[in-house]
């Protein structure tokens, strides 16, 4: 009887570990998401989960907003800029996948992103409904809520 209980406990623990491992590669939006981050950043693109990049990358991005990938994305209110920068740094990725600081600062240039999207051809990225690698919500319907489950991906025609 005791052996059976130990065996059941072992299976439950194994299931928990497997579940954690399966989700370890998919950062989610922190709860609650900072409203000012969403308001400022999602005005032009999806408000990416802070866990996609390490704090160093977020600091670099926030310090170069006047030349944000070819666009002036300056935040004139210094208190607001400090609030968003601090929130991004506090919620930045700390695990292996997000530890990579890419030269471009782009999530889409990270080894992790490239590995996860290796089966997506360049023709698919160029589709009018997708347009670029940074348009997560085109294929990941739950992206704005931090859900990037690969089993829920729907690639538009």
- pLDDT > 90? residue 3: no
Average pLDDT rounded to a whole number, residues 90-99: 78
pLDDT digits over 37-94, tens only?
999 999 899 999 998 898 999 999 999 999 999 999 999 999 999 999 999 999 998 8
Average pLDDT rounded to a whole number, residues 7-33: 50
More confident residue, 92 or 2: 92
* Phi/psi of residue 118, nearest 5 degrees: -60, -25
- What band does 154 get if pLDDT is binned at 50, 70 and 90? very high
**Predicted TM-score (pTM) of this structure:** 0.75
* Angle between helix 55-63 and 78-90 (nearest 10): 160
Give the chain's mean pLDDT: 82
pLDDT for the residue numbered 34:
93
Average pLDDT rounded to a whole number, residues 101-120: 88
- pLDDT > 60? residue 11: no
């Amino acid at each position: 009887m005791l052996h059976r209980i130990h065996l059941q406990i072992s299976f439950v623990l194994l299931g928990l570990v497997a579940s954690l491992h399966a989700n370890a590669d998919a950062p989610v939006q922190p709860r609650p998401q900072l409203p000012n981050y969403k308001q400022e950043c999602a005005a032009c693109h999806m408000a990416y989960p802070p866990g996609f990049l390490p704090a160093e990358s977020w600091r670099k991005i926030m310090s170069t907003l006047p030349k944000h990938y070819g666009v002036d994305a300056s935040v004139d209110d210094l208190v607001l800029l400090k609030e968003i920068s601090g929130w991004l740094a506090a919620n930045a990725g700390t695990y292996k996948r997000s530890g990579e600081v890419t030269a471009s600062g782009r999530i889409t240039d990270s080894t992790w992103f490239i590995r996860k999207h290796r089966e997506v051809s360049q023709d698919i990225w160029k589709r009018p409904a997708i347009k670029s690698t940074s348009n997560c919500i085109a294929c990941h319907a739950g992206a704005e809520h931090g859900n990037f489950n690969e089993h829920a991906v729907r690639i538009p025609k």
